[in-house]
């Protein structure tokens, strides 16, 4: 068992993308563990950052509104940190196709400049990068393990892939302590649900609460796995605290792969009412769709004992309750 409180107490920790969904959930845990936390976020209005996400943490951490594309700010901010969680990202797959250069700047170039800043000004820091299952593209076999070829279907996947590999190169060439986690669909309180650009699950939760039908593309048989955000946060903390994770790439994954149709039915059951409709794939979605996906997370389990602890049913129930209570801050 890793002693996370022992590791993080008093540690200086920077979280880029810290006002977003995963970053803010991570921030609560870090503060609870006694870390000295700075959140860096650009609060670009169409992205997931939201000050309400850190409600209750006022005075217990620092917030720096800065853009990771600004090399001068990042050069300064990385200094003196013990751990950096690199979570700032352009996360919409469709947006990456419509505006590939912004995706390139944020998901690729900024990751490189952050690593350069660390190499020059803080070579002893630990960096944990939030990569994505999207870099595998359409699975050739299931479950997908880390040996699966990388073959992204969209610009976001291609840029995240390069962003990830910069971290591995900086470990091998310069000994910088980096770890990459390939996250699967992560959900829970504080995710952006304003529109369908980010997570379809967040959008479905909103439609359900508003009494509108959930829209399923294709035949609804596509399989996906899901992690409740607390489980993803635990994995981020575990790899940050472990030297054995340095230079490694790990999948996260869920234990209950489910078709989108069954997921819609489960949500409707948990909400007590609702309906869904099945519609043809819009062309822009079809060309980047990855088909069925679920991950094999054995590598992380064997290395650090991680496995998901929150069932899909429990996680969705908690998430629905959160948005019923706080939707004015997210709609
Ligand atoms: N949520 C998922 O299912 C999932 C899956 C795979 C990978 N990831 C990765 O995890 C990370 C966090 O994702 P999330 O779901 O919390 O998304 P999110 O959009 O809620 O959080 C990302 C945060 O980064 C900030 N940001 C974006 N561009 C920035 C910039 N240029 N400078 C500073 N801040 C910037 C945004 O304002 C936002 O607060 C991302 O890198 C994403 O690619 C997430």
Å from CA of 272 to ligand 1 middle: 31
Residue 284 has pLDDT above 80, yes or no: yes
Residue 65 has pLDDT above 90, yes or no: yes
Mean pLDDT of 279-291: 93
Å from CA of 88 to ligand 1 middle: 5
pLDDT in the model for residue 1: 75
Residue 194 has pLDDT above 80, yes or no: yes
- Contact present, 38 and 62 (Cβ < 8 Å): yes
pLDDT in the model for residue 101: 98
Q: How do residues 1-11 score in pLDDT, each as one tens digit? A: 789 999 999 99
Average pLDDT, the chain: 97
Percent of the chain whose predicted confidence (pLDDT) is above 70: 100
Å from CA of 89 to ligand 1 middle: 4
Q: Which fold has domain 4-191+226-254?
A: Rossmann fold (3.40.50)
Helix (H, G, I), strand (E, B) or coil at 7: helix
Written as six digits, the tokens of 196 are: 């369908």
Ligand 1 contacts (CB < 6 A) are 16-17, 19-23, 41-44, 47-49, 67-69, 87-91, 106, 130, 132, 183, 185-186, 192, 199
CB neighbours (10 Å) of residue 324? 11
> Residue ranges per domain, the chain?
4-191+226-254
Residues contacting 249, CB < 8 A, separation 6+: 131, 146, 164, 168, 179, 180, 181, 182
pLDDT in the model for residue 198: 79
Q: How do residues 206-245 score in pLDDT, each as one tens digit? A: 999 999 999 999 999 999 999 999 999 999 999 999 999 9
pLDDT in the model for residue 2: 86
Å from CA of 273 to ligand 1 middle: 31
Å from CA of 16 to ligand 1 middle: 9
Of the candidates 237, 243, 255, the residue with the CA atom closest to the CA atom of residue 315:
255
Q: How do residues 24-39 score in pLDDT, each as one tens digit? A: 999 999 999 999 999 9
Atom of ligand 1 nearest to the CA of 107: 41
Atom of ligand 1 nearest to the CA of 24: 16
């Amino acid at each position: 068992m890793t002693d996370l409180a022992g590791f993080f107490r008093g540690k200086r920790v920077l979280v880029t993308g810290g006002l977003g969904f995963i970053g803010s959930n991570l921030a609560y845990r870090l503060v609870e563990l006694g870390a000295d936390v700075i959140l860096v976020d650009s609060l670009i209005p169409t992205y997931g950052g939201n000050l309400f996400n850190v409600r209750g943490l006022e005075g217990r951490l620092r917030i720096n509104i800065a853009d990771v594309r600004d090399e001068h700010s990042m050069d300064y901010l990385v200094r003196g940190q013990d751990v950096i969680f690199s979570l700032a990202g352009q996360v919409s797959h469709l947006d990456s196709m419509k505006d590939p250069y912004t995706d390139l700047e944020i998901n690729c170039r900024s990751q490189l400049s952050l690593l350069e800043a660390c190499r020059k000004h803080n070579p002893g820091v630990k960096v944990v990068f939030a990569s994505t299952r999207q870099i595998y593209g359409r699975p050739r076999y299931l479950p997908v393990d880390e040996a699966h070829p990388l073959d992204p279907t969209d610009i976001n996947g291609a840029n995240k892939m390069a962003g990830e590999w910069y971290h591995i190169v900086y470990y091998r060439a310069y000994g910088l302590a980096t770890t990459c986690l390939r996250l699967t669909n992560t959900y829970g309180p504080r995710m952006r649900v304003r529109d369908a650009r980010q997570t379809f699950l967040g959008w479905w939760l909103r439609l359900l609460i508003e009494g509108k039908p959930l829209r399923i593309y294709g035949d609804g048989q596509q399989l996906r796995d899901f992690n409740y955000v607390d489980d993803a946060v635990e994995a981020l903390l575990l790899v940050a605290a472990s030297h054995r994770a340095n230079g490694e790439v790990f999948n996260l994954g869920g234990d209950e792969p489910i078709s989108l149709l069954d997921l819609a039915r489960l949500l409707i059951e948990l909400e007590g009412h609702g309906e869904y409709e099945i519609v043809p794939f819009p062309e822009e979605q079809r060309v980047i769709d990855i088909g069925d996906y679920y991950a094999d997370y054995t590598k992380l389990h064997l290395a650090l004992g991680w496995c998901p602890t929150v069932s899909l049913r429990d996680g969705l129930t908690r998430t629905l309750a959160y948005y019923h209570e706080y939707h004015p801050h997210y709609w």
